[in-house]
Structure 1
Amino acid sequence: MSRFFPHPLLSLALTAMWLLLTRFSLGNLLLGAAIALIAGWAMGALHPRRVRLRRWDLLAKLLCIVTWDILKSNATVAWAILTNGRGGKRRSGFVCIPLELRSINGLALLAIILTATPGTAWLEHDQDSGLLLLHVFDLRDGDDWSGLIRNRYEAPLLEIFG
Structure 2
Amino acid sequence: MIPAQPWLPMPLLSILLLAVWLMLQQSLALGQVLLGGFLAIVIPLLTRRFWEHQPTIKRPWLLVRYILRLLGDIIVANLEVSKLILDPRGRMQPAFIEYPLELEELFPITILASTITLTPGTVSANLRQDRRTLLIHVLDTDDIPATIDTIRERYERPLKEIFGC
| TM-score, length-scaled by structure 2 | 0.70
1:64 is aligned, of 60, 63, 68, to 68
1:112 pairs, out of 107, 111, 114, with: 114
Report SS of the residue matched to 1:139: coil
Whether the 8 Å CA contact 1:66–1:113 is kept in 2: the answer is yes
Q: What is the SS of the residue equivalent to 2:137?
A: strand
Q: What SS does the aligned partner of 1:132 have?
A: strand
Structure 1 pair 58/82, CA: closer, same or farther in 2 (3 Å)? same
The CA deviation at 1:121 is 0.3
Higher radius of gyration, 1 or 2: 1
What's the Cα RMSD here?
Answer: 3.1
**Residue aligned with 1:89, SS:** coil
Offset, 1:53: 1.4
Which has the higher mean CA deviation after the structures are superposed, 44-53 or 117-126? 44-53
> 5+ unaligned residues in a row in structure 1: which ranges?
21-35
Q: How many residues are aligned here?
A: 144
Rounded to whole Å, the distance in 2 between the matches of 1:157 and 1:95 is 20
- Gapped runs of 5+ residues in structure 2? 1-6, 8-12, 27-38
Corresponding position of 2:85 = 81
- Corresponding residue to 1:123 among 125, 129, 139: 125
Are residues 19 and 156 of structure 1, via their aligned partners in 2, closer, same or farther at CA, if it must alter by over 3 Å?
Answer: closer
Q: How far apart are the structure 1 equivalents of 2:56 and 2:115?
A: 19
For 1:140, the equivalent position in structure 2 comes to: 142
Q: Distance in 2 between matches of 1:78 and 1:11?
A: 35
Give distance in 2, aligned partners of 1:11 and 1:65.
26
Report what 2:93 is aligned to.
91
Q: 1 CA distance for matches of 2:149 and 2:69? A: 15
- Which deviations, in whole Å up to 9, do the C-alpha atoms of 1:105-154 show, x marking residues without a partner? 11111111111111000011225361111000112211111000111100
Instruction: Return the offset for 1:15.
Output: 8.3
Cα 1:18–1:59 change in 2 (3 A) is closer
3-state SS of paired residue (2:135): strand
Provide the C-alpha distance between the structure 2 equivalents of 1:59 and 1:16, rounded to a whole number of angstroms. 25
Task: Tell me how far apart the structure 1 counterparts of residues 21 and 162 of structure 2 sit (CA, whole Å).
Answer: 34
Q: Does the CA contact (< 8 Å) of 1:96 and 1:131 recur in 2?
A: yes
Q: Secondary structure in 2 aligned to 1:54?
A: coil
Shift of 1:43: 2.1
- Is 2:47 the counterpart of 1:43? yes
